[in-house]
């Protein structure tokens, strides 16, 4: 009985409080497709970051070797095995 | 149609007020009743009864917010119906049915004392809610005014069910302490 009085009384709270609760929940609701969209965007970001990192790293210097010839030539080799730079 | 125009139709006793109300707020009233009764037919009947209550109360009433005015009527009607069904299930069928039939003989379902008591309590709950953070306040209202399921509230606010449950638990305890402090006895 006491809880019923409480439940009935909550039915008499201010109109403003009720309207506020109704408007807020509507704006915060995220439909299923929106959640999927957010997940897809995150996945795409992770993939792009990975690819970009790999591309940068593959062009990093793996080492240099110098040949004492006349004139001498120095090759700079990238991690991917390609010659990045040569200097006489 | 704007609320002001619908209310005007009630005031000039134009029956299209009911059709306009049903068109604009039918699903709103249905949702409130359905949250309580969990039965489409019962919810529909409550919504229809709401329009009739509005017809008999406007005028003299002139609601500031028609949706909330209708929602409060629907909520009361649905709670009455829920109470009747629950009592019938408990085996008190005939007494409850007779009381329910006799309700039609009295002008209001609540006594003056009950109304005053409920109004005082509602005013205290207003004071309690207004000082709470907006999120907590709104979740409390959606649970105990609109009677939404915890899962629905969690979905609407992008929160876990356990977070909503613990938030409501804290709010109920705070409300109890607040009412004790205000000297309100239930």
- The residue assigned the tokens 């509507």 is A26
Alpha-carbon torsion (B17, B23, B25, B26), positive or negative: positive
Put simply, the chain A residues between 43 and 82 with a CB less than 8 A from any chain B CB are: none
- The residue assigned the tokens 């120095």 is A74
- The residue assigned the tokens 């210097």 is A61
Cα B27 to the center of its chain, rounded Å: 15
Cβ–Cβ pairs < 8 A, chains A and B: 86
Q: What is the mean pLDDT of chain B?
A: 87
> Tokens at residue B159, please?
């929160």
Check if the interface score ipTM surpasses 0.85.
Answer: no
Residues of A in contact with B129 (CB under 8 A): 13, 17
- The residue assigned the tokens 């006895």 is B185
Chain A touched by B96 (CB under 8 Å):
no
How far is A65 from B4, CA to CA, in rounded Å?
A: 87
Cβ atoms of B70 and B54 closer than 8 Å:
yes
pTM: 0.69
How far is B167 from B177, CA to CA, in rounded Å?
A: 16
Cβ-proximal residues to B71 (8 Å cutoff; 6+ apart), any chain = A18, B28, B29, B32
Answer yes or no: is pLDDT of A1 > 90: no
Helix, strand, or coil here: A69?
coil
CB contact under 8 A, B118 and A8: yes
Chain A touched by B142 (CB under 8 Å):
yes
Cβ atoms of A75 and A83 closer than 8 Å:
yes
pLDDT single digits (tens) B104-143: 545 455 566 667 778 888 999 999 999 999 999 999 999 9
């Amino acid at each position: 009985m006491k809880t019923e009085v409480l439940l009935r009384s909550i039915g008499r709270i201010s109109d403003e409080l009720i309207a506020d609760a109704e408007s807020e929940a509507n704006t915060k609701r995220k439909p299923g497709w929106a959640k999927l969209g957010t997940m897809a965007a995150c996945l795409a970001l992770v993939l792009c970051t990975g690819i970009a990192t790999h591309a940068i790293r593959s062009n990093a210097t793996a080492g240099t070797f110098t040949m004492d010839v006349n004139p001498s030539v120095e090759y700079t080799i990238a991690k991917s095995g390609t010659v990045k730079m040569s200097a006489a | 149609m704007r609320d002001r125009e619908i209310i005007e139709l009630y005031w000039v006793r134009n029956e299209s007020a009911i059709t306009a109300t049903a068109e604009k707020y039918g699903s709103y009233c249905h949702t409130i009743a359905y949250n309580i009764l969990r039965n489409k037919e019962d919810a529909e009947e409550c919504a229809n009864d709401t329009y009739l209550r509005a017809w008999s109360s406007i005028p003299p009433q002139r609601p500031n917010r028609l949706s909330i005015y209708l929602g409060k009527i629907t909520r009361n009607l649905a709670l009455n119906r829920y109470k009747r069904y629950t009592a019938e299930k408990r085996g008190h069928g005939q007494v409850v049915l007779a009381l329910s039939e006799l309700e039609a003989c009295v002008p209001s379902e609540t006594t003056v004392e009950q109304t005053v008591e409920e109004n005082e309590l509602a005013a205290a709950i207003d004071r309690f809610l207004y000082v709470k953070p907006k999120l907590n306040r709104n979740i409390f209202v959606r649970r105990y005014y609109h009677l939404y399921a915890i899962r629905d509230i969690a979905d609407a606010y992008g929160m876990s069910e356990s977070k909503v449950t613990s938030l409501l638990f804290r709010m109920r305890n705070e409300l109890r302490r607040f009412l004790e402090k205000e000297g309100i006895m239930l």
